[in-house]
């Protein structure tokens, strides 16, 4: 990939930039923020750190929308973080106009770029970004499931004592309290998790995963999670930049999969050079289907709230 831009030079954007530059996932990395000098300073810091890793990625920063020109991939992390006790949906009214402005800039300066949405509430904002872009769903999608899955793997490792290298996990649905950790698909070294943990222990992991972001927010007080989201972004960027055909959970616009249309949901997807090239539909059992439908219904309500704010309904 020649050029990648991150819009939002906050802690998440900076954390992602550090990994992307260090691992040479693009030739040129642009860090863009309304606070132009902040973006320039962080970009220079990231660049100098990457140089010490032997990276030839060039990193620049600034505030001008023109800096998006020729970007092949744009990652959107801009927006206000939620405060302790707030839901992700609570920041919608603030982050929605920010996203709308960014999408206008992208359409003007990088109209064919793939767009990865990270800002919260990510399901709703991914839907909005896609609806504004005029692009197919393979070009506009969101990051949530990679982070949620990482959190669940961390909790499974802590509970079992096994290496995270042998742990596989999967989270579907909306990025919030209604997310759906699929415990039937969780395993340690291909052995189902139920062989090692009781139903009570598994239930505790599910709840802790659903509240993973809130737990960090409550402990840090002055800031939300940044390092783990940065790693999750970099994983998705790596899959796209290197055409790896990786199966990763992403917030995708559904087109009939799982019985849903015109909604953005976290589902397993194939990420490759073309962006999101395929949505994988799993055969859910009755309980899993009920949880997924409940999560989807919540996202539909959240999208309706967004449309009401915009006067579209």
Residue 109 annotated as catalytic: no
DSSP-based three-state secondary structure for 3: strand
Distance from C-alpha of 8 to C-alpha of 81, rounded to nearest angstrom: 12
C-beta separation of 120 from 100 below 8 A: no
Cβ–Cβ under 8 Å, residues 32 and 9? yes
- Angstrom CA distances, 69 to 77, 79, 105, 109, stand at 18, 21, 10, 5
Cα dihedral 74→75→81→82 (10° resolution) = 110
In angstroms, the CA 248 to CA 279 distance is: 10
Distance CA 244, CA 240 (A): 7
Question: Cis peptide leading into 121, omega within 30 of 0?
Answer: yes
Active-site choice (139, 175, 210, 260): 175
Closest by Cα among 235, 205, 196 to 19? 235
Distance between CA 187 and CA 170 in Å, rounded?
10
Separation of alpha carbons 186 and 209, rounded Å: 13
How many beta carbons lie within 10 A of that of residue 311, not counting itself? 6
Residue ranges of alpha helices (H) inside the chain are 11-22, 36-51, 92-109, 122-133, 145-160, 199-210, 212-220, 227-241, 286-310
- Burial class for 3, CB neighbours closer than 10 Å (0-12, 13-18, 19+): buried
Name the residue among 238, 211, 225, 262 with its Cα closest to residue 75.
Answer: 238
Catalytic residue annotation: 175
């Amino acid at each position: 990939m020649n050029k990648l831009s991150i819009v939002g030079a906050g802690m998440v954007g900076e954390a992602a930039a550090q990994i992307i530059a260090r691992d040479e996932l693009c030739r040129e990395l642009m860090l863009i923020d309304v606070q132009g000098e902040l973006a320039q300073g962080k970009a220079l810091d990231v660049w100098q750190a990457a140089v010490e890793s032997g990276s030839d990625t060039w990193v620049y920063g600034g505030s001008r929308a023109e800096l998006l020109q020729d970007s092949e991939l744009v990652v959107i992390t801009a927006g206000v973080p939620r405060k302790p006790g707030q839901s992700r949906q609570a920041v919608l009214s603030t982050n929605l106009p920010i996203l709308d402005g960014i999408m206008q800039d992208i359409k003007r300066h990088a109209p064919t770029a793939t767009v990865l949405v990270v800002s919260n509430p990510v399901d709703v904002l991914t839907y909005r970004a896609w609806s504004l872009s005029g692009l197919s769903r393979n070009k506009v999608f969101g990051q949530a499931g990679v982070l949620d899955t990482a959190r669940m793997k961390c909790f499974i490792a802590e509970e079992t004592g096994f290496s995270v290298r042998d742990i596989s996990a999967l989270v579907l649905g909306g990025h919030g309290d209604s997310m759906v950790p699929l415990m039937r698909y969780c395993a340690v070294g291909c052995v189902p998790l139920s062989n090692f943990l009781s139903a009570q222990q598994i239930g505790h992991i599910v709840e802790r995963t659903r509240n993973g972001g809130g737990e960090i927010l409550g402990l840090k007080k002055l800031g939300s999670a940044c390092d783990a989201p940065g790693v999750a972004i970099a994983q998705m960027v790596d899959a796209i930049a290197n055409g790896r055909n990786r199966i990763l959970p992403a917030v995708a616009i559904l087109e009939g999969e799982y019985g849903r249309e015109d909604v953005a949901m976290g589902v397993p997807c194939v990420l490759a050079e073309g962006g999101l090239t395929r949505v994988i539909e799993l055969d859910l059992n009755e309980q899993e289907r009920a949880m997924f439908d409940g999560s989807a219904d919540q996202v539909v309500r959240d999208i309706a709230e967004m449309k009401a704010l915009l006067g579209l309904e």
